[in-house]
Every structure is written in structure tokens, then in C-alpha cells.
Structure 1
């Protein structure tokens, strides 16, 4: 297991809005499968768990899976339930060379307030 150091790393932060989702950003949903099934997901998002239900993680395995799907220069937005886990992961990704990372403040729970309809996870 790799320790995720998050101090002194600045990450762009944004609330969840239709404008953000239509900006060409790729949304990475780092919640657990259980969470995806309970609430649904943002249409078109890449579902890739970082912290498991026991709050454990394998940062290197996550990074390897992510790099198979997105380029470190791609615009990505990281979302979790409320914005706490996504901030940690966003900082980790910036530290690991991702150049256009946005943390979604307020997480998936803010989708309804933003007028964003979630779709079922299959």
C-alpha cells in the first residue's frame, strides 16, 4: 500500500454544475459500487473506486487503472459522496503528474441541488 501525501498541493475546486459537466471534463466517480448502486451516477462518468468500504486503498492500482482510461493531461473532475475523499484523491493525482484535475466540492449529494439527474449504475 502506498501512503497518499496531500499537504501543500493546490487543486482546482468547483461545485457540480451542468456547465462543468458540459465543459469536456471527464468525471471520475471514486465512490464504492455500493454507493453507485444506492444513488446512481453522473451519466458518462468513469466509476473507479479509490477507497473501499473499509476505507482501505491501493493508490498504485487505482492510478494504473485510471491511466488506462485517461491521459494525465486530460481534464478530469473527481467526485465522491461529499467532496472529502475526492479532495484527497485530487491532490494525489496532481502530485502524480495529472495537470487538469478538479475536485467537485459537495460531491454527488449536491447533484440534485444543481439540477443534475443521476442515472442508475449497471
Structure 2
């Protein structure tokens, strides 16, 4: 009986949680889907933010992170019951985070796979970072 229940829980997680890999695009910006930028404040200052992005740092400059703090800020900033996108510099951090958020939190996540670097290359609207 336990095996059946565990199998059901595993399958239901697969059905409800998903990660979609997508490149940054004007269509994504126009969709008004929340885009969470997980880079550091120094990275935001250096490159700016993709139009409409919400800056919520995950890893600091030393590579350390506070997952509980990040999740609290994420859940305060957006409705995580709906799909949202995440972006970093090149997509490496978001690839890991997207998988976690999907598998462990059952969030529907769009991983912007080539990050802000590719968004800048495409000349998508990038706005200067304004610290609160």
C-alpha cells in the first residue's frame, strides 16, 4: 500500500509541477508573466534589469544563499500558484533553481535559459536598477 501511495505522490508531482526552458523574448515580456531576476545587486547595477523583472537575490557575491529568505520574498512578490519566469546572467543558476522550485515546491517555472546576456544581445528592453 505504501508503494502505491508513494507512486501516486510522485506521479502527481510530475503532473502538476513543470519547468519550461525558454529564451528571453519580447513576447515573454509582453505576456506580463512575472520575471524574477535572482542575480546579485552588483549584477543588477552592472547590466540593468529586463523590463518588468522583479529583483530577488538568491546567491550572494560569495555564492552563499538563504533559501528560506528567498522563498519568503518570492512568495511575497508574486503569485506562485501561477507560472512565473526566472532569469540570471547566463541561465546556469536558474536551471538549478527552476528544477528545485518545480520538483520540491510544485511551482510552474519558466527558466530563461540564456539569461540577461542573451537578452542584451537581442536588444530587449533593459532598465537601470533602482535600489529601494
Residue 96 (structure 1) aligned to one of 105, 123, 127: 105
Cα distance in 1 for residues equivalent to 2:99 and 2:87? 13
TM, length-normalised to structure 2: 0.80
Structure richer in helix, relative to its length: 2
Structure 1 residues 1-122: aligned runs within 5 Å: 11-94=19-102, 95-98=104-107, 100-122=108-130
Query: Does the 8 A contact of 2:29 with 2:52 survive in 1?
Result: no
Q: Which has the larger radius of gyration?
A: 2
What is the Cα deviation at residue 75 of structure 1? 2.0
Cα distance in 2 for residues equivalent to 1:115 and 1:40? 12
Cα distance in 1 for residues equivalent to 2:101 and 2:32? 19
What is the Cα deviation at residue 88 of structure 1? 1.1
Residue ranges of structure 1 left out of the alignment (5+ in a row): 1-8
Q: Deviations over 1:17-51 (max 9, x none)?
A: 10111123100000000000000001221100001
Q: Alignment RMSD, CA only?
A: 1.7
What is the Cα deviation at residue 10 of structure 1? 5.8
Residue ranges of structure 2 left out of the alignment (5+ in a row): 1-16
